Structure 1
Amino acid sequence: MPEMPEVQGLVDFLRGRVVGHAITRATVTAIAALKTYDPPITALQGVTVTDVQRAGKFLDLATDGGTHLVFHLAKAGWLRWYDAVPATVLKPGKTPIALRVVFDDGAGFDLTEAGTKKSLAVYVVRDPSEVPGIARLGPDPLDADFSRDTLAGLLAGRRTQIKGVLRDQSILAGVGNAYSDEILHAAKMSPYALASTLDDADIDRLYAALTETLAEALAEASGKPPADLKDAKRRGMRVHGRRGETCPVCGDTVRSVFFADNSLEYCPTCQTGGKILADRRLSRLLK
């Protein structure tokens, strides 16, 4: 799933290529992906992109027509850029492409989504705050005014596992499954620790891990084209997606806990005092 650093990488890439260019065509091929009807998708035709911004994991293309093209790539979505968009005709239901946008210079992009569970979302709105997911967003951890005390305030009184708190977009914008694993590994913190039980030293470590991990990933994503962003993300991971491999900090084996549709990765020595967290799939089988 694209998270804040990769989404910001896409924003920076698009800003350098589409600002000042008019949209000549926007074609939806996955009807379920389009979540709005007023303004219609046709309202994008002929308008010029004036800026590209990010809100959490949402991308926002602002235009001089007073409309915004906003999209969220969800778990399996991605953006495929073309310097010259193919002339092939898109057939609804016959392609992984959900949306194709073409600009006045012939360049453009497709939004694609792999798999059968379709969650990619496209919105055409007059104001980004009209998108429900954006309206619910918590603060962005890389905003200049996001401080250690801001984080402490978000955690206070929450009897929720810290892994879930980091992933909850209404609490903290932009962090997903992968970077929450990386942040907790850097903070030497169990993913099951309750937010409300963290002391001052814990919060200090978590704040440093949160801001430094995201800043490093953002720097790694900066300047890369969309085709390279996924590999750059994978290369930067220390524990996420590395089950069975060696922890680069202590040499222990990275472990996983599996849930219904995802997993978390952690290092027992670095994060849980050597304790192996129960694998939910195996636990169910043993009942």
Structure 2
Amino acid sequence: MPELPEVEALAHHLREHAVGKFIERIDVAAISAIKTFDPPFTALQGVSVTGAGRHGKFLDLDVDGLHLVVHLARAGWLRWNDELPKAPPRPGRGPLAVRVHLDDGSGFDLTEAGTKKGLAVYVVRDPQEVPGIARLGPDALSLDAAGLKAALAGQAGRIKNTLTDQRVIAGIGNAYSDEILHAAKLSPFKIAGKLTDDELEALAAAIIEIESDAVARSVGQQAATLKAEKRSGLRVHARTGLPCPVCGDTIAEISLADKSYQYCPTCQTGGKKLNDRRMDRLLK
């Protein structure tokens, strides 16, 4: 799933390559991805791209006051092409959902792999009209220890789940939450609202460190290489069974219905493996 660093990098790429150009036309290949009807997509045609930004994990293309807002969900992506095919795509074929043509022949595809569709595309006059943006908590890169304490106050869930709740903190997903908790030396099962001041200080520093480093590595990358760049920087996420790069212990995993997350027992849980009922049943 694209998270804050990858979406920031995509916004940077669009600022570098799309701003100042005009949208020639938009082809919709998957109508299910379109979440708004007023203004229509045709309102963007012939209008110049004036900016690109990010709201949490939402990508925002400013088209002279109108906004093309995209949430890439779990399997969505933006694929830039310096020369797009001129023929309209056939609806319902392959991963293509939306194609945006610019006046110099370049543009980008919004695609989504797999059968579980979550890609969402909006055209709005104000980004706050997008329900997911209106509900966002403070951006992850804006939080110091005091801001993090305020965001987590009263949160009764596990810190792993709370970090990925966009209503609490915007931008952090499954992968980087694993990396943040590892850097902060915190168990993913800690209760979010009961962290000590020292734990909050460590967590706030880890959020800034991990997210800022990932942004620095991602910005300037071509859209096609961003996923590989993300994987190359991960120390615990998706590394089950491999040695922790800090202490050498074996990275452990918690498996859920539709995702998994990883942690280091030595660095984060005092050497104890967390209870994972699903994995325990499989191993019996």
Q: SS state of the match for residue 116, structure 1?
A: coil
2:80 pairs with 1:76: no
Could you list the structure 1 runs, at least 4 aligned residues long, displaced by more than 6 angstroms after superposition. none
Q: 1:253 to 1:283 in 2, by over 3 A?
A: closer
Q: Which amino acid aligns with 1:76?
A: A
Give me the whole-angstrom Cα distance separating, in 2, the residues matched to 1:175 and 1:11.
17
Partner of 1:247: 244
Identity value in percent:
60
2:16 pairs with 1:19: no
Contact 2:144 2:205 in 1 (8 A): no
2:17 pairs with 1:28: no
- Shift in Å at residue 283 of structure 1? 4.4
Q: Deviations over 1:223-260 (max 9, x none)?
A: 11101111110000000011111100000011111101
TM-score, normalisation: structure 2: 0.97
Partner of 1:99: 98
Q: SS state of the match for residue 49, structure 1?
A: coil
- Shift in Å at residue 284 of structure 1? 5.3
Partner of 2:228: 231
Partner of 1:275: 272
Give me the whole-angstrom Cα distance separating, in 2, the residues matched to 1:242 and 1:282.
16
Q: SS state of the match for residue 142, structure 1?
A: helix
Q: Which amino acid aligns with 2:193?
A: S
Give me the whole-angstrom Cα distance separating, in 2, the residues matched to 1:216 and 1:276.
28
Moved more, 74-83 or 85-94: 85-94
Partner of 1:209: 206
Aligned length: 284
Give me the whole-angstrom Cα distance separating, in 1, the residues matched to 2:125 and 2:238.
39
- Shift in Å at residue 286 of structure 1? 8.4
Partner of 2:51: 51
Partner of 2:134: 135
- Shift in Å at residue 268 of structure 1? 0.5
Q: Please, which runs of 5 or more residues in structure 2 have no aligned partner? A: none
Q: SS state of the match for residue 89, structure 2?
A: coil
Give me the whole-angstrom Cα distance separating, in 2, the residues matched to 1:256 and 1:88.
46
Give me the whole-angstrom Cα distance separating, in 2, the residues matched to 1:258 and 1:102.
41
Give me the whole-angstrom Cα distance separating, in 2, the residues matched to 1:22 and 1:60.
16
Q: Deviations over 1:48-74 (max 9, x none)?
A: 11110100001111112x311000100
Contact 2:100 2:109 in 1 (8 A): yes
Give me the whole-angstrom Cα distance separating, in 1, the residues matched to 2:87 and 2:263.
45
Q: Which amino acid aligns with 2:6?
A: E
Give me the whole-angstrom Cα distance separating, in 2, the residues matched to 1:2 and 1:191.
21
Moved more, 77-86 or 272-281: 272-281
- Shift in Å at residue 196 of structure 1? 2.0
2:216 pairs with 1:186: no
Contact 1:28 1:98 in 2 (8 A): yes
Q: Which amino acid aligns with 2:84?
A: V
Q: Please, which runs of 5 or more residues in structure 1 have no aligned partner? A: none
- Shift in Å at residue 93 of structure 1? 1.2
Q: SS state of the match for residue 81, structure 1?
A: strand
Q: 1:280 to 1:44 in 2, by over 3 A?
A: farther
Correspondence 1:136-215 to 2 at 5 A: 136-143=135-142, 146-215=143-212
Q: Which amino acid aligns with 2:7?
A: V
- Shift in Å at residue 89 of structure 1? 3.7
Contact 1:81 1:110 in 2 (8 A): yes
Give me the whole-angstrom Cα distance separating, in 2, the residues matched to 1:269 and 1:141.
26
Contact 1:259 1:280 in 2 (8 A): no
- Shift in Å at residue 87 of structure 1? 3.2
Contact 2:58 2:69 in 1 (8 A): yes
Give me the whole-angstrom Cα distance separating, in 2, the residues matched to 1:127 and 1:121.
16
Give me the whole-angstrom Cα distance separating, in 2, the residues matched to 1:129 and 1:47.
21
